[in-house]
């Protein structure tokens, strides 16, 4: 498939370097019938594994607010709770930013719950 041959290398690169851009590309690919949300990189990583790692790792000197839209997008695609890890994306968001449903990105990440 021509889409796969052109999009897959880009998505594999972005999965390792830039989850927000990867998610945008995955959304665009979904309109073409291409499932990039579950596409593994050469090392087996996926967008979901990158999100799980990111929410389990302290932000350090980086602005954690940049992560929240990506977590919301992941929750909308993968579901709120990952049965393998027990990770709850909405619980992470609610603990980090209690009023996250008021943020503009929340509108685009449905069916993400509002944690109550």
DSSP string, 51-113: HHHHHHS--TTS-GGGTHHHHHHHHHHH-SB-TTT--BHHHHHHHH-TTGGGSHHHHHSTT--
Three-state DSSP state, 8 = helix
Q: Are 97 and 65 in contact (CB under 8 A)?
A: yes
Query: How crowded is the C-beta side of 95, counted as CA atoms within 13 Å?
Result: 8
Q: What is the pLDDT of residue 114?
A: 58
Confidence of residue 49 (pLDDT cuts 50, 70, 90): confident
The owner of tokens 């945008």 is 24
- 23: three-class secondary structure by DSSP: helix
Q: Residues 51-55: what's their mean pLDDT?
A: 87
Q: Which pair of structure tokens corresponds to residue 28?
A: 């665009």
* pTM given for the model: 0.70
Whether 2 shows a pLDDT value over 60: the answer reads no
**pLDDT for 1 beyond 60:** no
Query: What does the pLDDT average to over 8-31?
Result: 60
Pairwise pLDDT comparison (18 vs 93), residue with the higher score: 93
pLDDT of residue 3 exceeding 60: no
Greater confidence, 16 or 70? Answer: 70
pLDDT score for 17: 47
Per the model's pLDDT, the better-predicted residue between 54 and 22 turns out to be: 54
Summary mean pLDDT of the chain: 75
Would you tell me how many other CB atoms lie within 10 Å of the CB of residue 51? 24
């Amino acid at each position: 498939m021509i889409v796969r041959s052109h999009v897959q290398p880009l998505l594999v690169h972005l999965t390792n370097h830039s989850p927000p851009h990867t998610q945008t590309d995955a959304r665009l690919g979904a309109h073409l019938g291409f499932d990039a949300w579950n596409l593994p990189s050469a090392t087996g990583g996926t967008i979901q594994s990158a999100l799980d790692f990111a929410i389990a790792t302290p932000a350090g000197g980086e602005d954690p607010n940049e992560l929240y839209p990506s977590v919301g997008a992941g929750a909308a695609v993968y579901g709120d709770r990952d049965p393998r890890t027990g990770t709850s994306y909405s619980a992470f968001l609610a603990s980090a930013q209690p009023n996250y449903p008021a943020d503009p990105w929340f509108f685009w990440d449905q069916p993400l719950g509002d944690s109550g």
